[in-house]
Structure 1
Amino acid sequence: MTDLDASTPGQRLTDEEKLTLKTGAFGAVFLVANADPGMLALFRESFAAAGAMADASGLVQEALTRGPLPELRRESAVEIESVTLPALRRAVEILTEKAPREVSVYRAVVLAAADRAARAHNGVSSAEAEVIARVRGVLGVDATGR
């Protein structure tokens, strides 16, 4: 049994489930980046968000940092949102079922990545704050972080 298995006895995530977690997390960052677009901003935001994902631990870190990247079309916020929000919901469901102790880790990492992305370029704009609030709501986290 590996260290990753120890936190979730008998419950491993499938590749599809890992991709769902990754799609939700990366999608949340893309939503923030698209809320206040700009090429330099996108680079800074992506780099900042990557740090939050690398700081994850256990099963969440494995899901977010290994394997293929999700395929997220970035033409419009509506397209990204139509994939991201359901992926975030499903990710919480997967973790609740298979690794309940990891739910809070996933929520924290996604919100930290979104927040770092927003703060990376000229602070958090009102559009970015609205996106983060939507992500927070889908994750089931209130404004106080609970």
Structure 2
Amino acid sequence: MADYTDAERDTVRNAAFGAIALVSKADPGFLSSFKESLAGSKALAAGPKEITDLLRSGGFPSPPTGDAAAQEQAVLTGLTEAKALLTAKADGSAEAFSGVIMEATQAVADASDGVSPEEQAVIDKVRAALA
């Protein structure tokens, strides 16, 4: 695994957990949020070792601040930055990261009563941010 600074690890971790939070917020409700958070966390934990090691390093993720639109924009920008950072490391982790994030966001959406149109819209934005 390439060497990462604390700031780089924070960028990757915040983007990953922010993506699953965005999809979860698209389907409000306490029980839904609980099921979805668990599903997203399991999907992130099941990823390739280089990604799970990166996500587990450091402290807790920092949720974005501001209104819903600002939070969404911060997470999507973070995903793009994380992918660029991982691509620059040239260790193959960028594609693994994208795959894990897409699997996790899909797991979140599937966790409670199937994928709603709102959840699909967020997943599409996440996919675009990782492209």
Contact 2:50 2:93 in 1 (8 A): yes
Unaligned runs of 5+ in 1: 6-10, 141-146
Q: How does 1:1-146 map to 2 (within 5 A)?
A: 5=1, 11-73=2-64, 76-140=67-131
Identity %, equivalent residues: 35
Q: Deviations over 1:100-139 (max 9, x none)?
A: 4111110011111111001100000000000000000110
Q: Which runs of 4+ in 1 moved over 4 A?
A: 73-76
Contact 2:43 2:103 in 1 (8 A): yes
Unaligned runs of 5+ in 2: none
Instruction: Measure how far apart 1:86 and its partner are.
Output: 1.0
Whichever residue aligns with residue 101 of structure 1, its letter is G
Contact 1:35 1:128 in 2 (8 A): yes
- Highest RCO, 1 vs 2 (Cα 8 Å, sep ≥ 6): 2
Separation (CA, whole Å) in 2 of partners of 1:123 and 1:110: 18
Whichever residue aligns with residue 104 of structure 2, its letter is A
- Report the CA distance shift for 1:36/1:45 in structure 2 as closer, same or farther (over 3 A): same
- Give the aligned CA root-mean-square deviation in angstroms: 1.5
User: TM-score, structure 1 length as denominator?
Assistant: 0.83
In the alignment of these two chains, the number of paired residues is 131
Instruction: Measure how far apart 1:65 and its partner are.
Output: 2.2
